[in-house]
Chain A
Amino acid sequence: MPGIDECLLEAMRLPGARGAALVDWTSGLALGAVGEAPGGDHETTAAEAAELARMAAEHGTFAAGGDDLPPVEDVIISNGDSYHLLRFVDTSFDSSVFLHLWLGREEGNLALARIRLGEMAARLVLG
């Protein structure tokens, strides 16, 4: 069963992966980070990504309809040279974490990464 570091290293094996982190969106703390971060600073990246994730998680507009569903699965940002993929981790205990994967746009495959990151998020907490 993978731990946090194994999960992040697995994410880094995706084509085009530049950096990956596990972030708490309430506090903005990176509980783990590997690879590069935009601007070179994982802490700043975590705080800013947490801000985005919190907005998505807290606003009813983006929430799924069913009560038993997690409100949001992913947040995807694309820019001229990269993608940011934020995958919420649905834990059986109370938490507010997501996986953040930064992908180069040339080599990255957003659809594949989205599926794989979802699987990794599930394996991280479900085994």
Chain B
Amino acid sequence: MLLALPFLTDELLGRGWVRILDFALLFIMLALGLNIVVGYAGLLDLGYVAFFAVGAYTYALLASPQLGLHLPFWIILPIGALIAGLFGALLGTPTLKLRGDYLAIVTLGFGEIIRIFLNNLNAPVNITNGAQGISQIDPISIADFYFSRSHEILGITFHSVHQHYYLFLALTLLVIFVSSRLQYSRIGRAWMAIREDEVAAAAMGINTRNIKLLAFVMGASFGGIAGGLFAGFQGFVSPESFSLMESIMILCMVVLGGMGNIGGVVLGGVLLVVLPEALRNGAGPAQQWLLGKTLIDPESLRLLFFGIALIAVMLWRPAGLWPSSTRRRELEAVDGVAQQEQDTVYDAKH
């Protein structure tokens, strides 16, 4: 099913939709990375796109005429993950003693700082080429197999978007595998202990600082990998792809899908990439059909419906579309007890 999907989409909806599928896979990787930070460790990160940006620019700088470097894809990707991880540590080290929403605003600020620097590091020394971004990035290739060219394998023509689909699918599956192994490992359980009660976790002998830092670094390196793939796939990066809006979208994927649950996060990623695109393609024609003319700018109509959908889904399923089983159990606990627990948590936080 997953293997045939690009060809089915190609036949039924057109080549553009295969490209959207590719992006959906990239965003699933990002959402899974953020899920480690927000879903497992319970640290609200509103600047996650910074790590995506670091990965993308690492790839762009190491494989484009910008610095004249052309390293191969399979070397850059780990480097990108490593550098993104370093940035994760850079963000995490000074901020980990912050609680809850203070952390949220600091991460948000960090994301903006990275974007502003990418936007302005063209003077006095031109590193990132400023707002124009970096173009002519080398396409993804393994040995002599270029993912950007069409190949004929076993009588079937694979176009660029198809090949990227399989590459991204393989890596997404890898990320899913790593995430699920992490979840119930010693580290994963430590993350969840910290999420539920940091003081109790520390009392149980968990080194909360290092474990939280690890969540940041791991989440960041997933973001870095997705960023590298993004740069190679697009052939072009510019700061405007890494705005606060993207961080918010990725967070929405995690929370809307079901925080801490891999299936939920994947579902959230697919929905939030496909839904806006479907609305984009649907808003204009639907108006034509209903009213006979385009009365309202389809772009704003699309975002309007998207906002309504976000509110409606959260009101309908506050724990996300597909919540993790622990979280569901918490919610289904006897009302009075749940209320009391919440109050205690509230008191402890303030």
Same assembly: no
